[in-house]
Amino acid sequence: MNDLAGKHIVLGLTGGIACYKAAELCRALVKEGATVQVVMTEAAAQFITPVTMQALSNRPVYTSQWDGREANNMAHINLSREADAILIAPCSADFMAKLLHGGADELLSLMCLARPMDKVPLLIAPAMNREMWAHPATRRNVAQLQADGCTVFEVGSGEQACGETGDGRMLEAQELIQDVVAFFQPKVLSSQHVLITAGPTYEAIDPVRGITNLSSGKMGFAIARAAQEAGAEVTLVAGPVALSTPRGVRRVDVKSASNMLAACVEYARAASIFVAAAAVADWRPAAPAEHKLKKDGSGRTPALEFVENPDILATLAQSPRAQSGDLYCVGFAAESQDLLDNATAKRIRKGVPLLVGNIGPATFGQDDNALLLVDTTGATEIPRNSKLALARQLVAEIARRIEH
């Protein structure tokens, strides 16, 4: 999926050691389908060559306002008018100050000043020493740039080229790609707080064994990313999975169904939308053994007694906030057969306005899926696609429903 297909990005580089990351960023932008025009300051060319950036972008690099390739000698006008966005990465402390005051003494700053502000957004990826980032002057500059309509991305934290450790590193290329992709997504859930569950639960039999299922959590994590892209504040309650947390999402790790219920009840107090995408175990051992159960050679199996786990979706759907309309609940049904009948029955039984059905064995662990949306009016199929693409469609459907 090329999330930036059709987008033309002007990638500006300013002076700083983080310029080495701009090479990977440029390549990643192109891989996502964008065309990239690189513009470099004289200081940036001290850290990485224009030849390198030309090879990665497949376009001539601009370094001077007086570039003779422009017939009208107005590179600052021509380049800015072609762009869907200008991304400055890395953006030094000096260049941020220049942008703030409208400085325009070389091509990149002149182009930023001359851009049509209502059509060409300015995205900034800061990169500097931790003391420079924490300095009151930089903090004021960041706040004013944001007030002027610029999007200032977060900085990373860790070891810096100077040998110090702290905030101020430019984000890694894949982090910036996610931020740029998210920037272009419609903000259909702005002002919403979305609570999402994802992955399996684990119910202990003894200290080393337990009952779980094949859910990878990928669908729930994709929904969390899509909701964050759509402008929502997102809390993700995750069972035991090996997945990276989507950018900008608050993650709460849990293990059992009881753990998940407690977390959901707590975070649902501030949520406006609840999406129960986790594959929660229906039962758990009534009395987990204190020590590992061992074979004794008799051929007899341990006598395990099970009790039913709490119903997380039904609990939240029947809560006062859900009943009053302050919490919109969406359920998931992972079935192995008779998807429409089972999903329809589950929606009614749980008392939710929207139930999302899928065939579990066909999607667990996979990167793609197919969904069936079931509500009071009937059922709608969403054809097989990547889980992120489906998550974005689902988010759009939820947004449409809560507007009415």
Q: Which residues contact 162 (CB under 8 A, 6 or more apart)?
A: 129
Domains 8-184 and 193-284+305-403 share a fold: yes
Instruction: Please say if the pLDDT value at position 73 is more than 90.
Output: no
Four-way CATH pick for 8-184: 3.40.50.80, 3.40.50.1950, 3.40.190.10, 3.40.50.1220? 3.40.50.1950
Task: Supply the pLDDT for residue 71.
Answer: 78
d(CA 159, CA 176): 18
Task: Supply the pLDDT for residue 381.
Answer: 92
Specify the higher pLDDT residue, 70 or 189: 189
* For the chain, domain boundaries: 8-184, 193-284+305-403
Bridge partners (DSSP) of residue 329 are 274
Percent of the chain with pLDDT over 90: 84
Task: Supply the pLDDT for residue 335.
Answer: 83
Model confidence at 363, in pLDDT bands (50, 70, 90)? confident
d(CA 10, CA 81): 10
Mean pLDDT calculated for residue range 179-185? 96
Mean pLDDT calculated for residue range 96-122? 95
Percent of the chain with pLDDT over 70: 100
Instruction: Please say if the pLDDT value at position 161 is more than 80.
Output: yes
Report if pTM > 0.85. yes
Mean pLDDT calculated for residue range 194-207? 96
CB 352 within 8 Å of CB 344: no
Task: Supply the pLDDT for residue 1.
Answer: 67
Phi, psi of 202 (to 5 degrees): -130, 120
Instruction: Please say if the pLDDT value at position 404 is more than 80.
Output: no
Q: Which of 112, 150, 162, 264 is catalytic?
A: 162
Predicted confidence (pLDDT) per residue in 377-399, tens digit: 999 999 999 999 999 999 999 99
Mean pLDDT calculated for residue range 261-288? 96
Residue 162 falls in the annotated catalytic set: yes
Instruction: Please say if the pLDDT value at position 236 is more than 80.
Output: yes
Lowest-confidence pick of 70-79, 119-128, 188-197, 217-226: 70-79
Strand 203-204 to strand 368-375: parallel, antiparallel, or no bridges (unpaired)? unpaired
Q: HSE on the CB side for 199, CA within 13 Å?
A: 22
Mean pLDDT calculated for residue range 24-49? 97
Mean pLDDT of the chain, nearest integer: 94
Query: What superfamily in CATH does domain 193-284+305-403 come from?
Result: CoaB-like (3.40.50.10300)
Instruction: Please say if the pLDDT value at position 14 is more than 90.
Output: yes
Helix, strand, coil % over all residues of the chain, rounded to 5 = 35, 25, 40
Question: Around Cβ 392, how many Cβ atoms within 10 Å?
Answer: 24
Task: Supply the pLDDT for residue 172.
Answer: 96
Q: What angle do CA 368, 363, 390 make, to 5 degrees?
A: 40
